[in-house]
Chain A
Amino acid sequence: MKYISRIFWIALGCTFLFPLYWMISIALKSKSEAYENPFGIPSSWKWQNFSEALSKYNYFTYLENSLIYTLGTIAITLASGSMLAYCLSRMQWRFNSSALFYVSLGLIVPIEVVVIPLFQLIKLLHLKDSYWALILPYSGFAIASCVLMLYAFLRSLPKELEEAACIDGTNVYQAFFKIIFPIIMPALVTQCVLIFIRIWNEFPLAFIIASKDQFRPLTVGLLSFFVNVGVSDWGLIGATMFLSSLPMIIVYMIGNEKIENALTAGAILK
């Protein structure tokens, strides 16, 4: 009984990993083998799919764009979000609770439903062909959960924290960067991981707004590549899929524990 349940769990775990195996195995197969033996182990390893992928697929452009979008969003969201959270939790402002409520409304509406006006707004602000066209809306939508999480974190800290700084004659900006910033680091790391996973894999908005190839992130670039190749060359498709997922797979392998904690942190706080 014990062994049966153990085997069942291993098998179940493997069903989640099967696509990873399949992506790699099909990438190593020749065109004809991909059809004759689509799910088995490749008979011999052929690397030409990868070299073909690197020459036909603008991998490094898309990779660079994904990095710019993700890191840009993280920087802007964490900087502005932590400042607002600090203001709402520690400063005496008449509108603290109403501002908090206002920001929390951002959790209800999914970004997809405002794609059309956002598209118009980006054109109006002349941001259309720049990285800001995605970074700014992404940040706007990431701020709600960032502020709420940091607010909860800051509220749990003792009020006396900045008092010493106050006596030393430090001003509020120095106090924020030298005292508060290091303390809220764990929460910032959590937010960083959450935003990274979300923006790195974001598709619906990028699909509409990054219409020029040179501004496409990996998710959208990959789809347009699939559409161009058609469904004839699965070896090539497998290679591009693997290359596109590789950064995330590496991040996941290194920061497995951190990612797990970050993804589940929101559930505990709420």
Chain B
Amino acid sequence: MTAVLVKAFRDLRRRRLQAVVVFVTTLLAVGTGTIALTLIAQTSDPYQTAFEAQKGAHLVVDFDGKVDPGALAGTPAAIGASAFAGPYRATDMQFQSGGHKYTVTTIARDNPGGDVGQLRITGGRWPSSSNEIALTRSFADLNHVSLGDRLRVLSVPQASILTVVGVVVDIDELRADVGGQQHAWVIESAFASLTTKGASFYQMDYRFSSDPTSAQLQAHLDTLRASVPPDSITGSISYIFARTVFHISTEILTGVLVAFSVFALAATAAIVANLVTGIVISAYREIGIMKAVGFTPTQVIGVFVLQILVPTATASVIGIPAAMVLSQPLLASNSQALGLAYQPTYSPLLGLLALAGALLIVTIAALLPAFRAGRLKPAIVIANAAAPRGHSGRWLRRLASQARLPRSVVLGLGDATARPVRALLTLLAVVLGVATVVVALGETRTFNEIYSYEGHIGKVDVVVAKSPALADADTTKLINSQPETGRVVAQAFANITAHGIADPVNTLTFRGDSASLGYLLTSGRWFSGPGEVVANGGFLQDAHLNVGDSFTGSVNGAALKLRIVGVVYDFTSGPGGHILMLDWTTLAAGVPDLFPSSYMVTLKSGSNVDAYVRRLAAAQPDLLDVQAASTGNTAFLSVIAVVLLGIAGLIALIAIAGIFNTVLLNTRERLRDTATLKTLGMSPRQVIAMVATSGGFLALLGGLIAVPAGVALYRVLFDQLSALGGNTTPPSFYDVFATWELIAIPIVGVAVAIAAATIPGRWAARTNVVEVLHAE
């Protein structure tokens, strides 16, 4: 055993550079894997913890304000809820703070505790007088509203000021950064002055003794619907939906992360296998001598595997804790969104798992070539001094010769493929690296694209949100009086109840040239007249309808005959959500008091958007919120981008290490050939060109495979993302890559590979011919 140890450590010292390559690649791979594992292990935790601690509601249902609150008291028993809260009175309230206008759902509630849906106060206190308000922490953080800030209420004619006295965590609503109107709370006595007649509704929280399935929730909703007058339920949120939305960013991330860490480990395994094969080849004679002096095959294998395990273990011991520390900010962002004081969590078990995984994969990768060393017959090995070499580069050399490429390039191509297994393993690492970069780039772009798409960027310049206190006619007149105003599409929200769909369906009603908003249709066409409607894929699935089908919806008790003419690509309704879009004329028949809540304005070309926004805002400072069209808050997108691109960068580095490693092994093995070529008159520059070609070629080949593979993988991931909203991806959405980029990515890869290969290339060019040949 000592002999094995002594030999292994001596060899390690001699092969320092190779040890460094193993160390760096495993460090990167183990780091990626650990970050992924940490995120996967912890995503479900903070939400569940908070949900239990705060007795979260399994179901939150909004009832129309005309419903008798006394009747609502019987609903929990009707659906078998073990606890309930409410009915709370609630209303949409618009207010202004720090120059911006926001809309929140303001709820009348005297007490943050209770049996269901407790609110955790993370800052300040619960409101105690009628000019005080509490906000969600999620909202306050996102919009930089602090305790003590004074909010000017705009949605009611009589202006009033509310002071923010408390910041709370509400587990039953969607997080602000992913979208979703946030709740705010005032005491009951303050409520009446904050709402207008007919604008308030009731909210009920239900909790069950065990977590219901979505089918059960669906059934409960049906029961509720039957127990109140028709169309009384105006909205509902299930804990499943809230949880999904809460996890959406981490969920998208973890899927990609798992794929990426598998990539990183596979690339590392390829490099390690290459290295050990290389060591076996270059130590061919030595292996014979080792056996001749009495090493058993197992001991020979031991020597080689140990040489790899020492740097791997070192890299793991450094990499795993480092990655755990690095993933803390990501974990923290989740907990902080819930207002949980974030305790950095380090799971030793997870670390051990990552360590065991890394050692196992690397050992397997090292064992295969080491077995070959163990099996070699001493006599043959000593006699042959160097391992037999392959001739597989021949066809390639022929081809290159015929193309009249310079000799050094032709020789380099031959070197790249002389050992096919090595070339294939290197290709594997390169393909993984480049494909990951393509996927990461694609996904990042897609997220931004989706946000631009939903924000009508490029189609709409200014979005004007109107307070209910201002008349539609006045607003339209004001907007149209601006000389730059080109096109105006007004938008109203409504809820349509459809058969087979439990919740009322969010419905966007457009007045004006809505086709110009640029909504993408995955099939069918945009609506063009009364009665025509487009829906998202999720709606069609759940309502069992197809394009061309008609159905009867109801709004405010009035029946509407609707015909589906197209399927719209949409994310705003969230995972599993439903949305309908139709023309004003369709709805106006059933809803006489329909009024737009916002106006999407496209300016005449060449207009100054900022000046327009300022002028319009100044005309109605209280009742209009005028903003240049934007993608909204996309902070969490940049977190995703940083993580994806960062990890893709790491895997790309691993691929570069793979190329460097292969070129290094090749030049070492071919030192004598290089010396011979130098005696034949090969110049230093030609030597470097030869070596660089061998590295560049593998990168080029890898890039040519990886770019289409990466694009394909990106599409698969994108399709899954689309499927969250029940959508199929419209083909035009795939085109996030410019052609030049798809060409540039492999070119950059080749350039980097050539740069990496130039290092061993320089060493080869500098070899002293006399010394090399003398040593033979």
Chains A and B come from one and the same complex: no
